[in-house]
Amino acid sequence: MIRVFVFLLMSALLLGCSAAAGEPRSPAAHTTTPSTPRPRTPAAPQPRFTTTDVAWLQLAEALHTRALPLLALVPGRSDSRALAELAGRLGKEHETGRGRLRALLAQARVTGENPHAAHDMPGMPTADDLRALAGTRGEDFDRRFVTLVRAHLDQLVLVARGEQTSGGAPEARELAAAMERGHAADLAELAKLGAAMDYTGGLDRARAVRESDRGWSEREKGLLDQAVTLIRGLR
């Protein structure tokens, strides 16, 4: 009996609530009292955060998220210790960065699914990219991987610059500045690795020439082999 009463009471309350919510509100009431909380659409940003801030936070968060499966492909596919180390560090950096972006999105009172996460935006590795990459090994993998990571980091740097010049909330602009510095350092390291790959590739080609050329002395051949081994060890 009490249960039935409670149920009726709850129903009555719920009905009352929905009836109140359905009441028409005159637009004039809103314009004259701007301090009244507006019945806004979902994800109405906290006023301190501008449209640019929210757009950057969401896009950077989506870019970070979409790079994680790319970074996870390195173990077992690359023979380069240096590349594996960089990918591992980037993975951790991306987890941390994503956490900071999400914290600011929460501060900005932006909830719900990230509108850019399931969509291929510039800089993001596509499903096709990941599939193709997953099927490669060794130097082929390294080259494709570096190209995709570079495109991703370049885009992060580009949008972080935009946020710093066009954004509003100081905490978002500061995070953008910190991220730009971090990604620029990552890109420099990636460039070194890329150059080493090109150098190794060049040496491989030189060795192929050596095999076909009888003009090389045994001492020259030996030196070239040593150089190739040395460079491979560095990578």
Partner 1 sequence: MIAKGAAMLTRRLLALSSLLLGLLAIVPAPAQAVPIVRVAEFLADCPFSHRLPDDPIVFPGLAGASHMHSFFGSRVTNAHTQLNDLLNGATNCNPAVDKSSYWVPTLYRDGAAVEPAIVTFYYLGEGVRSDITAQIQPLPLGLRIVAGNAKATGPDGTTISRWSCLHAGHVGASKDFVNCPSGTMLESYLDFPQCWNGRDLDSADHKSHMAYPVNQACPATHPVPVPKLRQVIRYPVSGDPSHFRLSSGGGFTMHGDFFNAWPPAEMERRVRDCIRPIIKCGADGRPS
For 223-232, letters b (16+ CB in 10 Å) and e give ebeeebeebe
Indicate whether 220 belongs to the interface with partner 1 (CB under 8 A).
Answer: no
Q: Please report how close the Cβ of residue 56 comes to partner 1 at its closest, in angstroms.
A: 6
Window of 35-43, 78-86, 136-144, 224-232 that interacts with partner 1 by CB under 8 A: 35-43
Indicate whether 194 belongs to the interface with partner 1 (CB under 8 A).
Answer: no
Residue from the set 32, 41, 212, 217 that interacts with partner 1 by CB under 8 A: 41
DSSP codes, 127-184: HHHHHHHHT--HHHHHHHHHHHHHHHHHHHHHHHHHHHHH---HHHHHHHHHHHHHHH
Could you give the CA distance from residue 214 to residue 118 in angstroms, rounded to a whole number?
57
Measured torsion, CA atoms of residues 201, 204, 210, 211, in degrees rounded to the nearest 10: -140
Q: Please report how close the Cβ of residue 24 comes to partner 1 at its closest, in angstroms.
A: 6
Indicate whether 55 belongs to the interface with partner 1 (CB under 8 A).
Answer: yes
Contact yes or no for 44/109 (Cβ under 8 A): yes
Indicate whether 184 belongs to the interface with partner 1 (CB under 8 A).
Answer: no
Residue from the set 3, 24, 35, 218 that interacts with partner 1 by CB under 8 A: 24
**Interaction pattern, residues 109-148, with partner 1; x per rule: CB under 8 A:** -x----x--xxxxx--------------------------
Indicate whether 159 belongs to the interface with partner 1 (CB under 8 A).
Answer: yes
Could you give the CA distance from residue 235 to residue 224 in angstroms, rounded to a whole number?
17
Q: Please report how close the Cβ of residue 181 comes to partner 1 at its closest, in angstroms.
A: 18
Distance of CA 122 to the CA centre of its chain: 11
Residue from the set 4, 32, 35, 42 that interacts with partner 1 by CB under 8 A: 42
Considering only CA atoms, which of 132, 131, 189, 181 is closest in space to residue 156? 181
Window of 36-44, 81-89, 129-137, 182-190 that interacts with partner 1 by CB under 8 A: 36-44
Tokens, residue 115: 């509108």
Cβ atoms within 10 Å, residue 204: 14
**Interface contacts to partner 1, rule CB under 8 A:** 22, 24, 27, 30-31, 38, 40-45, 51-52, 54-56, 59, 110, 115, 118-122, 155, 158-159, 162-163, 165-167
